[in-house]
Structure 1
Amino acid sequence: MPKPVVSSIAELRERIQRLEGGAGRARKVLPFGLPQIDRRLPGGGLALGCLHEVAGGGNGAVDGAAAALFAAGVAARTRGKVLWCVTRQDLFAPALAQAGLLPGRVIFVEAGDEKALLACMEEGLRHGGLGAVVGEVARLSMTASRRLQLAAEGSGTIGIAVRRWRRATEVADFGQPTASVTRWRVSVLPSEPLPVPGVGRPRWLLELIRCRAGESADFEVESCDAQGRIALFSEMAGGSPQTESGRRRASS
């Protein structure tokens, strides 16, 4: 006897969801705790069990460091150990701690090259016992990102690819399509002014430049605190954003 039509449709939907990488299933999310940002993300936060990309707004070291601290803040708000993969020994652990990611939670892996680094990331994502897996890469192909995305889906662990470049010619690779669910860009802004001489809390221009099943947006935020949480500017949180010429404001 032929299968009932309803049963056939259900099977077809299940196959489509598998081909889409489970996009039709409800995923657990990690909210930022800021409605202005969370409402831009499907489910109200960063999807767990997915790959996300973060890059600095330029090819300089300052914006690159801000991207790494943003990733550290996300990882800090997960549970369990965090695997952080690098190809060069220039990661500053005290800075990660200021963003909420304490050294005792981090397992550092120094890979010989980016091919080995991607393999370490994939293995970490497949393990399933980690809070997050972070890897610093210059290039990320569709094939490599798809492998990381599938590994993250299978374990439920969040993966973060921090895009760091050694030369200006590598920046263009960030515009190429990947399987990442979201893609962020972080640029440094002048720090928060203080009533006395000194340097206030750092500020970033945080751009959500790609979001699967979501919208692009940009926000001016204060950098991660000791719990890994970002905040909107105080004047914006109070509902009275200034209208300085040339300043980019958080999308409403």
Structure 2
Amino acid sequence: MADPAVLSQLREQLRAMETQGFRRRPSLPFGLGAIDSRLADGGLRLDALHEVAGGTSDMADDCAATLFLAGIAARAWGPVLWVVRRRDLFAPGVAQVGISHKRLIYAEAADDSELLAIMEEGLRHRGLGAVIGEAKRADMTATRRLQLAAEGGRTIALLLKRPAREGSDPIGMPSAAVTRWRVTSAPSTPLPVEGVGRPRWRLALARQKGGEGFEIEVEACDATGRCALPSAVADRKAVAGGSANRHAA
């Protein structure tokens, strides 16, 4: 009869080999019950594609969508591949929401087709925590390829969708993405003195696989990539006897 302790140690070694030394979480939670409880996977699936777009074509909403997406990547586990069409990514800005320049790998693509191909290669590499791309056109075939490349891995795929033309809806076309978000700037958190408080965003989950859409207002990502509920909302929940979950975990 084999020693149970030896068998237990062997099982641990095999599990470590299968996961390359760590146990993969199935999803990346926001740490806010008001969001995670309404997501089918209790957070964003790590082995999946997620799309984000600005709520309008306004530059402020484009920046908000970029920082929302960067905050998600900041909370992922390792290096981040960011694929761009233009050299306009403001590194200090994404650093403020938790992505150190030491974690960032930049790739510049000539067009959307090349950008999507680079994203796919990055997802299949399996050595990255997140792969981000910024595209105007990504049809069902392209997004299905990204979703398939992400499945079975531990690299979250994040696609920032920009309008293909003035007035068009970036996430209006069919997509294989598991979640599709719109991010709109909202009035900043009020301060007791004159000045600009913490930015706020209106998050609209337009679609999710296995669940319903919803809208919620949050305070923008902090230096660790975490959002928070606006203080008035958090205080109201606390008074009602619920869990405020003001800061993301």
TM-score of the superposition, structure 1-length normalised? 0.82
3-state SS of 2:176 partner = coil
Q: Give the whole-Å Cα distance in 2 for the aligned partners of 1:104 and 1:198.
A: 32
Structure 1 residues 110-146: Cα deviation after superposition (integer angstroms, max 9, x where no partner): 1111111000000000000000000001111000000
- Size of the aligned set, in residue pairs, is 215
Gap regions ≥5 residues in structure 1: 1-25, 242-252
Provide the residue aligned with 1:78 in structure 2. 76
**Alpha-carbon deviation of 1:173?**
4.7
Provide the residue aligned with 2:183 in structure 1. 186
Q: Give the whole-Å Cα distance in 2 for the aligned partners of 1:32 and 1:222.
A: 12
Distance 1:56 1:27, change over 3 A: same
One-letter code of the match for 1:218? E
Distance 1:173 1:237, change over 3 A: closer
Would the aligned equivalents of 1:41 and 1:214 in 2 still touch at CA under 8 Å? Answer: yes
Would the aligned equivalents of 1:87 and 1:113 in 2 still touch at CA under 8 Å? Answer: yes
TM-score of the superposition, structure 2-length normalised? 0.83
One-letter code of the match for 2:54? G
Q: Give the whole-Å Cα distance in 2 for the aligned partners of 1:173 and 1:223.
A: 22
Q: Give the whole-Å Cα distance in 2 for the aligned partners of 1:69 and 1:48.
A: 18
**Alpha-carbon deviation of 1:51?**
0.1
3-state SS of 2:223 partner = coil
Correspondence 1:144 to 2:151: no
Would the aligned equivalents of 1:188 and 1:205 in 2 still touch at CA under 8 Å? Answer: yes
Q: Give the whole-Å Cα distance in 1 for the aligned partners of 2:70 and 2:236.
A: 28
Correspondence 1:196 to 2:193: yes
Would the aligned equivalents of 2:179 and 2:208 in 1 still touch at CA under 8 Å? Answer: yes
CA RMSD of aligned residues (A): 1.6
Aligned pairs for 1:75-224 within 5 A = 75-165=73-163, 167-169=165-167, 171-224=168-221
Would the aligned equivalents of 1:56 and 1:185 in 2 still touch at CA under 8 Å? Answer: yes
**Alpha-carbon deviation of 1:53?**
0.3
3-state SS of 2:163 partner = coil
Identity %: 57
Runs of 4+ in 1 over 3 A off after TM superposition: none
Provide the residue aligned with 1:244 in structure 2. none
**Alpha-carbon deviation of 1:195?**
1.6
Gap regions ≥5 residues in structure 2: 1-23, 239-249
Q: Give the whole-Å Cα distance in 1 for the aligned partners of 2:176 and 2:164.
A: 23
